[in-house]
Amino acid sequence: MPTKLETVQLSAFYAKKEAIHEVSLAFPEKTVTAIIGPSGCGKSTLIRCLNRMHEVTPKATTTGEIRLDGEEIHALDPVSVRRRIGMVFQKANPFPTMSVYQNVSAGLRLNGVRHRKELDAAVVRSLKQAALWDEVKDNLDGPGIRLSGGQQQRLCIARALAVEPEVILMDEPCSALDPIATAKIEDLIFDLRQNYTVVIVTHNMQQAARVAEFTAFMYLGKLIEIDRTQKLFENPAEKLTEGYITGRFG
Positions touching another protein (CB under 8 A) are: 205-206, 209, 233-236, 241-242, 245-248
DSSP strand pairing (60-68 vs 71-72): antiparallel
Among residues 116 and 248, whose Cβ is nearest to another protein? 248
- Measured from the CB of residue 92, what is the shortest distance to another protein in angstroms? 26
> What is the nearest approach in angstroms of another protein to the Cβ of residue 203?
11
The span from the CA of 10 to the CA of 83, in Å, is: 22
Instruction: Name every residue whose Cβ is closer than 8 Å to that of residue 94 and which is 6 or more positions away in sequence.
Output: 103, 144, 145, 147, 152, 155, 156, 159
Is the CB of residue 205 less than 8 Å from the CB of residue 193?
Answer: no
Q: Residue 194 or 235: which CB sits closer to another protein? A: 235
Provide the minimum distance between the beta carbon of 216 and another protein in the complex, in angstroms, as a whole number. Answer: 15
Q: How far is the CB of 248 from another protein (least distance, A)?
A: 7
147 vs 245, beta carbon nearer another protein: 245
- Between 173 and 236, CB nearer to another protein: 236
Please state, in angstroms and rounded to a whole number, the distance separating the CA atoms of residues 160 and 145: 16
